[in-house]
């Protein structure tokens, strides 16, 4: 099963998505903040990164910028997974290279698994 990196600072959210994807059979790698997330992306080379936006010190958008600026991580597809739902947030994320923007509260865990599966399929077909 595919390897996912989830970069999420909120412990409750982290454990929710860890459970969601582990139970669905994914291999899950967890990053607690932007800095550790960047390192884990390089080391673990996941099939997809799920990236939160509102995080202390380094926001998800900054992490996204750095992921896209680094040769070793720039080809890993990144989907934003945030509860910020303003159009402006989405626009910025897509401009910086995100392939999807998932608003957490809009989907039940099972629906997010479906979305991630679709993204993985699309990404693999494209590449």
- In the block, tokens 């380094």 appear at 58
Contact stretch for another protein (CB under 8 A) within 29-37, 62-70, 101-109, 117-125: 101-109
Inter-residue contact 10 to 52 (CB < 8 Å): yes
The one-character DSSP state at 70 is S
CA-nearest of 22, 122, 30 to 81 is: 30
Tokens at 88, concatenated = 């402006």
Q: Coil, strand or helix: which one is 81?
A: strand
Contact stretch for another protein (CB under 8 A) within 27-35, 40-48, 55-63, 84-92: 84-92
Is residue 114 part of the contact set for another protein (CB under 8 A)?
no
The β-bridge partners of 5 are 29, 49
Of residues 32, 59, 83, 92, which one binds another protein by CB under 8 A? 83
Cα–Cα distance measured from residue 126 to residue 16, given in angstroms and rounded to the nearest whole number: 30
- Shortest Cβ 47–another protein spacing (Å): 22
Cα–Cα distance measured from residue 35 to residue 58, given in angstroms and rounded to the nearest whole number: 7
Site string for another protein, 44-63 (x = CB under 8 A): ----------x---------
For another protein, the closer of residues 45 and 109 by Cβ is 109
Is residue 108 part of the contact set for another protein (CB under 8 A)?
yes
Is residue 97 part of the contact set for another protein (CB under 8 A)?
no
Binding site for another protein (CB under 8 A): 10, 12-13, 16, 19-20, 23, 54, 82-87, 89, 104-106, 108-110
């Amino acid at each position: 099963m595919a390897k996912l990196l989830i970069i999420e600072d909120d412990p409750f959210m982290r454990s929710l998505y860890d459970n969601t994807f582990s139970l669905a059979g994914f291999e899950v790698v967890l990053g607690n903040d932007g800095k550790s997330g960047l390192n884990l992306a390089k080391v673990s080379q996941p099939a997809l990164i799920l990236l939160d936006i509102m995080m202390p010190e380094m926001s998800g958008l900054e992490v996204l910028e750095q992921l896209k600026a680094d040769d070793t991580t720039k080809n890993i597809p990144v989907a934003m997974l945030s509860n910020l739902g303003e159009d402006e947030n989405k626009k910025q994320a897509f401009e910086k290279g995100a392939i999807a923007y998932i608003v957490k509260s809009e989907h039940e865990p099972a629906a997010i698994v479906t979305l991630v599966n679709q993204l993985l399929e699309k990404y693999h077909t494209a590449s």
